[in-house]
Every structure is written in structure tokens, then in C-alpha cells.
């Protein structure tokens, strides 16, 4: 097992990509704390699946609306885990409001979850890693929306673009401590399995929508020594969607 004995936080692991990451990491021997905001049932299903496979995991409610609440969540994680080897910043927000529909409050709320929470939680985790001389790993879940612009995604795309730069600047500052920081930029990965007739896949060269397991296997690669000489990278996992868009007139 490639993550045997590792202590891991995965935020927003009550469904989809976060859930798939938590399940795979637990299968590889990690002990986890996952967070949820409103979907307690989903979080309990994730924990139940892990425990049925003889894994070890706990779910904590987390409200990431302020940095004080982020700090409270981190302290609760340390109480459960003792220390953190790997942090996966997966929790995020999303809206499809246009530029003129978006209010300052909408924008601030989305950036708080998408950008500020990963920043502050990573800062706390990294300080703990340095204190305990842990050569740890931080993985941010971004989006191809942070790489290329999309209509009616101004807040989401802005937050993810900033998260990509945060990933790279964190990687530069934390490399001296042996802490690696990378990100995954998923393409279209719906919560429910997509059919072959889904119109959203027409521009995806590999001919299908993404699966949460596609992103989870990439996260596992980044969390292990298989990627030991990688830091500051944004790995696009999108079936070729982003390059296909570049070819359009």
C-alpha cells in the first residue's frame, strides 16, 4: 500500500471527486479526516465505504466561511490525526451567474471557499509539517476553468486561476522544507455518470466525460513518491478538452 501510515485531510469528500480521492487513499493505507458542509449523509456514506474496506476515516463538519472556522477545523483534524502528511484542498463553490448578475457578496463568498480556505488551511498544515519535519504534500483541486475563460463562470474561473498561482508560489516557498505543492485541473466531471449522448462531451477528444476516479488516480500519483520530483505543477485531466478548445476558431 503506497500511503500506509499517512495522515490525510480531504476537504469536501462527501461526493464526486473528493469522495473518490478519499476512498482511493484509504485503500492505499491512509488514515483520513474528511470535511462536509451540508451533506452529512454523503460524508457518512464515504466513511461507511472506507470502514467496510477496513480503512480508517472520520468526517468533520466544516464551515469555511471565515478563517477562524478554518482554523477550528484544522485543530479538530490534529486532535484526530495527530499530524498531517497530505492535504487535499477539494472543497469549493460554484455558480453560473453572469458578470452583471454577480454581486460583491457572491464573489467574496466563492473566493472564500475556492481560494482563501485553501490558502489558510495550507498555511496551517505547512507550519505543522515544518514543525514536525514532515516532507509533506499539498494537492489543490482546481479546474480547467482556471486555465481558459468560460461564459458565466467569472467568479469560479477567477478563483481557480488564482488557486493555480497560489499552488505555484506555495511550491516555491515550501520546497526548501521538502513540502511539495501541486494541483489538478479537472475537465468536465459530472456528479452522476454521463451517457454517451451527453452534449457536453462533443468537444472532448477522448469521447467521454470524466469520472471522479480519473481525478483520484492523478491525486494518488501526486501524493506518492512516484512524483517525488514534481512541485508547482497544474496537471490538466480533461480528456483533451482544453486543447480542443484552443483549436476552435
Break the chain into its structural domains and give their ranges.
Answer: 7-247
pTM of whole model > 0.85? yes
Q: Which residue has the higher pLDDT, 4 or 96?
A: 4
Q: Is 47 left (phi over 0), alpha (psi -120 to 50) or beta?
A: alpha
Q: Which residue has the higher pLDDT, 122 or 94?
A: 122
State the CB neighbour count (10 A cutoff) for residue 135: 12
pLDDT for 247 equals: 63
How do residues 139-160 score in pLDDT, each as one tens digit?
999 999 999 888 888 999 999 9
CA geometry: angle 72, 74, 78, nearest 5 deg: 115
How do residues 27-51 score in pLDDT, each as one tens digit?
999 999 999 999 999 999 999 999 9
How do residues 218-245 score in pLDDT, each as one tens digit?
999 999 999 999 999 999 999 999 888 6
Please determine, looking at this structure, whether the domain spanning 7-247 carries the CATH number 3.40.50.720. Answer: yes
pLDDT for 249 equals: 53
Question: How many Å apart are CA 238 and CA 201, to the nearest integer?
Answer: 10
How do residues 159-206 score in pLDDT, each as one tens digit?
999 999 999 999 999 999 999 999 999 999 998 766 667 888 988 999
pLDDT for 131 equals: 98
How do residues 88-99 score in pLDDT, each as one tens digit?
999 988 788 899
pLDDT for 246 equals: 66
pLDDT for 200 equals: 84
> Exposure pattern of 90-127 as b/e (b: 16+ CB <10 Å)?
bbbbeeebeeeebeeeebeebbbbbbbbbbbbbebbbe
Distance of CA 162 to the CA centre of its chain: 14
Q: Which of 104-113, 122-131, 197-206 bottoms out in mean pLDDT, i.e. has the lowest?
A: 197-206
Query: Quick one: pLDDT band at residue 248, thresholds 50, 70, 90?
Result: low
**Mean pLDDT of all residues in 207-223:** 97
How do residues 53-81 score in pLDDT, each as one tens digit?
999 999 999 999 999 999 999 999 999 99
Amino acid at each position: 500500500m503506497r500511503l500506509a501510515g499517512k495522515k490525510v485531510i480531504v476537504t469536501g469528500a462527501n461526493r464526486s471527486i473528493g469522495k473518490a480521492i478519499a476512498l482511493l487513499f484509504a485503500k492505499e493505507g491512509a488514515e483520513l479526516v474528511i470535511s462536509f458542509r451540508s451533506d452529512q449523509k454523503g460524508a457518512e456514506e464515504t466513511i461507511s465505504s472506507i470502514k467496510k474496506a477496513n480503512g480508517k476515516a472520520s468526517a468533520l463538519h466544516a464551515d469555511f466561511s471565515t478563517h477562524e472556522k478554518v482554523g477550528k477545523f484544522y485543530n479538530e483534524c490534529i486532535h484526530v490525526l495527530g499530524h498531517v502528511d497530505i492535504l487535499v484542498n477539494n472543497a469549493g463553490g460554484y455558480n453560473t451567474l453572469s458578470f452583471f448578475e454577480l454581486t460583491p457578496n457572491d464573489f467574496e463568498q466563492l473566493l472564500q471557499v475556492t481560494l482563501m480556505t485553501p490558502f489558510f488551511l495550507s498555511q496551517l498544515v505547512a507550519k505543522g509539517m515544518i514543525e514536525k519535519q514532515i516532507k509533506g504534500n499539498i494537492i489543490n483541486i482546481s479546474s480547467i476553468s482556471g486555465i481558459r475563460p468560460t461564459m458565466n463562470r467569472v467568479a469560479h474561473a477567477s478563483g481557480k486561476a488564482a488557486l493555480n498561482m497560489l499552488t505555484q508560489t506555495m511550491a516555491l516557498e515550501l520546497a526548501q522544507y521538502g513540502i511539495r505543492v501541486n494541483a489538478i485541473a479537472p475537465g468536465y466531471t459530472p456528479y452522476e455518470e454521463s451517457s454517451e449522448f451527453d452534449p457536453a462531451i462533443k468537444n472532448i477528444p477522448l469521447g467521454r466525460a470524466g469520472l471522479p476516479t480519473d481525478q483520484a488516480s492523478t491525486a494518488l500519483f501526486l501524493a506518492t513518491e512516484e512524483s517525488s520530483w514534481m512541485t508547482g505543477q497544474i496537471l490538466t485531466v480533461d480528456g483533451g478538452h482544453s486543447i480542443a478548445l484552443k483549436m476552435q476558431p
